[in-house]
Amino acid sequence: MTVSRDELIFTDKNKKSETPDEIILTDHFDFSENLFPVNLGDSIESIDGINKSFDWDFDAEKLQFPLRLRKQKDGDEFYPVGFSGKKKVSKFFRDEKLSILARQKIWILTDSSDSVLGIIPFRQDRRYAKDEKTKWSLKIFNEMNNEI
């Protein structure tokens, strides 16, 4: 049983989830290129009310490959762009006033050491963001399909 702010939803816990627990985005970075783009448009499902395009630039030398998408784990922390200090992902979700159902659908971008690189589609971790010293850049983005 899942309780949301406005809904009471019953689901079969024995039913296998159709959503994978983890998605590997890229297992390497081609350092012969200065920019390596990764579009998440086909990798993640849309979430009602919070779907938005995003465009993050990472310093590829600071990342440990492979990059993965996974769901939230207890104790996840990150250093969000636009904030000072670190923040627990669970606190970030509460501050954004996300429903329990929305939280279950949100993907966390991580590297091979399981460090949180960003919460899709909200915030990137500033420790891995591209800066003036960046030589190789990895762009992670989501192009929204505006189909009616």
At 42 the pLDDT is 63
- DSSP run (H or E) holding 8: strand 8-9
Listed ranges 40-44, 81-85, 141-145; the one with the highest mean pLDDT: 81-85
The token pair that represents 59 in the structure block: 């310093």
With 0-12 CB in 10 A as exposed, 13-18 as middle and 19+ as buried, what is 110? buried
State the average pLDDT for the chain: 83
Q: What is the dihedral of CA 88, 91, 93, 95, to 10 degrees?
A: -130
What is d(CA 119, CA 123) in angstroms, rounded to the nearest whole number?
Answer: 5
- DSSP run (H or E) holding 138: strand 137-142
Q: Strand 137-142 to strand 35-39: parallel, antiparallel, or no bridges (unpaired)?
A: parallel
Q: What percent of the chain has pLDDT over 70?
A: 76
Whole-structure pTM over 0.85, yes or no?
Answer: no
Q: What is the dihedral of CA 131, 94, 49, 56, to 10 degrees?
A: 10
Kindly list the distances between the CA atom of residue 37 and the CA atoms of 88, 95, 131, 136, 144, in Å, as whole numbers in the listed order.
Answer: 28, 30, 17, 11, 16
The more confident residue out of 2 and 140 is 140
